[in-house]
Amino acid sequence: MIRKTILLLIFSVLLTSCVPYKQLEELGIINTRGVDKIENNQLETTIIAYQFDAQSPEITTTVFGIGNTIKGARENAGYNTNFELSPGQIRLELYGKETAEDGILEYLSTLVRDARVSDTMLVAVSNVTAKEVLTAGQEELMTDVGQLIQSLIEKEVQEYSIPKTSLQNYLRIESDIGQDPVVPLIGLRDKKPAIVGLAAFQNDRLVGELPIDQAFLINVFLTNTKDTPLEITLQREPLSDYIYNNVSDTYQADNPENEDQFTILVKVLKGQGDIKLKNIEDLHFEANIHLEVDLYETSELLSIKDEKIASILEEEMAKEFERQYNVLFAQLQEINSDPFGFGIIYRINKKDGELTDTEWREKFPNVTVDFNVNVDLMHYGTIQ
Amino acid sequence: MEINVNVKSNLRIQAFYLFFIIVSMQIGVGILGVPRLIFSEAKQDSWISILMATVYIIIVLFVMLLTLKQYDNADIHGIHLDVFGKWLGKLFSTVYILYFAIALYSVLITYIEIVKVFVFPEVSNFVMGLILICLTIYGVLGGLRVIIGVSFVFGVLANWILFLLIHPALQIDLAHYLPLFQASFVDLLKGAMASSYTFMGFEILFLVYPFIHNKNKVSISSILAVTWSSLLVLAATMLAIGFFAAAQLERREWAVLVLFKTQSFPFVERFDYIVVAELMMVVAPSLLFLMWGLTYSIKRVYKVQQKTTLYITSALFLIGTFFFEKHFETQQVINFANQFGLWLIYVYPFVLLPFVLLKKRLNKRKGARSS
């Protein structure tokens, strides 16, 4: 028994030498990578890597590399650092605007090909160059910019404010015929990186920028959303009778300098979207959206005394959401990008169930959709 | 060589273990890549293909059992001897031996390739081969009962991996399964054919049948085993189809392994590493049974000591891992094993059965005349 145990221990020690080892202190673990296309079809990568160097006070190091391929650029960047750059822990891949406009699939495919790269990494696009965002931010902030952008995105994804944007999600939606991916657009605000919008793709090419508050409208169709804070501006007129005037102590809204708008902040407890094909010849769709919301804040004092006011509020919200959907959809048709996945619904209702990408690109601008939003106001807090 | 195998009663096993024997033989490296193969033929109707394959396999199982029931306690080599005589029988048995060798070799190099692609790109084939083959020798030296023990323990323990598929299962897109019933019958058949390599392994029944104690339970045990394997393959395929877009799935090798890549926990970031290691527990019983089948068959047919062939073939396999390092070469070996097995496992039992029945009738007539 003892002899066997000793033998087992000896073997388990000896066998570990059979596989190549990597020492943590010798590795530069790439955390964030920015990719930009520069002249002559070459790529410039901006790599933020962790280094475990006792002599350096910084945990991260930023290196640049130029090459014809992503991996080539990494090798090139390797000349600048005494660490072996390892891609297994890339958490964020950021593409420059111009790069994304030319298509990013070839850069993503290297990530898939290499089985050691994680599929859960985030994909994002910068509204300038990736290098600018990553370096300008790094100078301004003392923290690691890559980490910062990741947390920004992850936080918003967790709130369902923006759709999931992991590598796997991006690739799946990109490969699905009849649906296009959207990813967060990272820009600099006060010289600090921030999510400034949503990048709409046509296949793998960046074709447009959408305002960030519309990301939620798209996400409702991609997943069942929960607990999303949302600011929404309504028409003031139908509600004006119930707005409390603190000066005159009446419900006589005096409508001072400010316009005809009334803004509320709600938390969307539940959001569901569902697309139905109504008429396959006319490409007529119906999109039903159901939202359950809690009221958190109003821009003026609003009194919700009875059900009537609640239902007016619900109706106004629904109207506003429908308006926003129509604006968004018109914009998407213009750039011919279909993040909602109308094409998928069209495909599965087609007789042979087959759809080519070019076919859908031709059809998508002629699609008509009725957006029906149904809002339920669930709670409004502790005051009426 | 005797037609019937004389197995001492203390060496016999319960039919219950046949379930684990067949499942561990069927489920191996094949299940990782099979969704792509079936999908590229039958598209979203792949599930029909798998069901068709299952039904066909159950029919083959019945034919095999019917063949075996014509004898008291024979295995495939004894049947060959009885039906085809000494020389032709030996020839057919040798085909079986070759099949075990090629199947073992294909499992070995596929697993090594997966380890190289997913975990250690720098590791040498020889080292991986040495470790796997040492394990195989060690197990086979223990004899059939030890191997069955391994398949039972590993077969139970490895199932926790299935829980890791819950996360990808929640992310599937139901639209990928629609519209239903688009594939033609030919496509469905092709899809069923594509699953043949994965489903191979139940032919071990031809060898272990004499070792089973309660023969009346053999059919229920083996059918349950085949059903369970089919359910696993079905689940893996449906998950992969739902999870990946069509264009993605058609290009992904080992799509099932990639399913494990898409989740991470605070304590384990990458589950595919763990799954590749865990896969050793799935592959080891296959290797053990194939090696046992190989050496035992040689012993039965050529009367060579099992230990001698074990060491010689192990050395040959180890040398063999040097060759076929390229992916497409590995694929060629798998394809060859697939073609070989397709005829031997899925078609040959139907050919053998009439011969056996004919021989039995002739024997009876002879017996009646002599008495």
The string of pLDDT tens digits covering residues B134-189 is: 999 999 999 899 999 999 999 899 888 888 889 889 888 888 888 888 888 999 99
| Burial (Cβ within 10 Å: 0-12, 13-18, ≥19) of residue A281 | exposed
Q: B198: which 2 tokens?
A: 């994965």
Q: pLDDT over 70 for what percent of chain A?
A: 94
Q: What pLDDT sits at residue A190?
A: 83
Closest by CA to B123, choosing from A89, A16, A164, is A16
Q: Measure the N-to-C terminal CA separation of chain B; round to a whole number of Å.
A: 26
Helix (H) or strand (E) holding A33: strand A27-37
Average pLDDT over residues A142-153: 84
Q: What pLDDT sits at residue B220?
A: 93
* A151 and A287 belong to one structural domain: no
* A185 and A40 belong to one structural domain: yes
Q: Indicate the average pLDDT of chain B.
A: 89
pLDDT of residue A165 exceeding 90, the answer is no
Mind telling me how many Å the CA of B220 is from chain A's nearest CA?
40
Give Cα B133 to chain centroid, integer Å: 18
CA distance A312 to A377: 10
* A193 and A335 belong to one structural domain: no
Report pLDDT digits (tens) over A49-61: 888 877 777 778 8
CA distance B28 to B110: 10
**Which of B122, B123, B178 lies closest to A348 in CB terms?**
B178
Q: What pLDDT sits at residue A257?
A: 55
State which amino acid sits at residue A311.
S
Report pLDDT digits (tens) over B261-306: 887 777 887 888 888 989 999 999 999 999 999 999 999 999 999 9
Mind telling me how many Å the CA of A20 is from chain B's nearest CA?
6
Q: Which of A210, A244, A277 is the last residue of a domain?
A: A210
CB contact under 8 A, B127 and A18: yes
8 Å CB contact between A270 and A225? yes
* A124 and A77 belong to one structural domain: yes
Q: B327: which 2 tokens?
A: 């992916």
CA distance A347 to A243: 48
pLDDT of residue A251 exceeding 90, the answer is no
Q: What pLDDT sits at residue A324?
A: 92
Where chain B has pLDDT below 50, the residues are none
Q: A37: which 2 tokens?
A: 């296309």
* A333 and A360 belong to one structural domain: yes
**Which of A18, A174, A345 lies closest to B131 in CB terms?**
A18
Token pair 């394997």 in the structure block, residue: B229
* A142 and A245 belong to one structural domain: no
Q: What share of chain A is helix, strand, coil (3-state, %, to 5)?
A: 40, 35, 30
CA distance B125 to B110: 11
Average pLDDT over residues A199-216: 90
Q: Which of A191, A210, A229 is the last residue of a domain?
A: A210
Tell me the residue range of the domain where A371 lies.
221-379
Q: B286: which 2 tokens?
A: 């296959």
Q: How confident is the model at residue A80 (pLDDT cuts 50, 70, 90)?
A: confident
CA distance A46 to A195: 19
Q: How confident is the model at residue A207 (pLDDT cuts 50, 70, 90)?
A: very high
CA distance A137 to A145: 6
The secondary structure of B43-85 as a DSSP string is: GGGHHHHHHHHHHHHHHHHHHHHHHHHTSSSB-HHHHHHHHHH
| Shortest CA distance from B184: residue in chain A | A352
Q: Is residue A6 part of a domain?
A: no
Q: Is residue A7 part of a domain?
A: no
Q: Is this prediction's pTM over 0.90?
A: no
Strands A225-235 and A205-210, how do they pair? Answer: unpaired
Angle formed by the axes of helices B185-194 and B46-69, nearest 10°: 60
Q: Is residue A11 part of a domain?
A: no
Q: Indicate the average pLDDT of chain A.
A: 85
Q: What share of chain B is helix, strand, coil (3-state, %, to 5)?
A: 80, 0, 20
* A352 and A246 belong to one structural domain: yes
Q: Is residue A77 part of a domain?
A: yes
* A166 and A59 belong to one structural domain: yes
| Shortest CA distance from B124: residue in chain A | A19
CB contact under 8 A, A115 and B123: no
Q: Please state the domain count of chain A.
A: 2
Q: Which of A176, A280, A345, A355 to mutate to test the interface with B (most CBs of B within 10 A)?
A: A176
* A197 and A277 belong to one structural domain: no
Q: What pLDDT sits at residue B367?
A: 75
Q: Is residue A342 part of a domain?
A: yes
Q: Is residue A13 part of a domain?
A: no
Q: What are phi and psi of B13, to 5 degrees?
A: -120, 165
| Shortest CA distance from B44: residue in chain A | A353
CA distance A222 to A213: 16
Q: What's the length of chain B? A: 371
Report pLDDT digits (tens) over A118-137: 888 899 999 888 888 888 76
Q: How confident is the model at residue A300 (pLDDT cuts 50, 70, 90)?
A: confident
* A180 and A68 belong to one structural domain: yes
CA distance B121 to B124: 8
CA distance B43 to B178: 10
Q: Which of B117, B261, B280, B327 to mutate to test the interface with A (most CBs of A within 10 A)?
A: B261
* A74 and A199 belong to one structural domain: yes
- CATH superfamily for domain B17-363: Amino acid/polyamine transporter I (1.20.1740.10)
Q: Which of A183, A210, A237 is the last residue of a domain?
A: A210
* A262 and A314 belong to one structural domain: yes
Q: What are phi and psi of B80, to 5 degrees?
A: -55, -45
Listed range (A64-78, A198-212, A244-258) with the worst mean pLDDT:
A244-258
DSSP A197: E
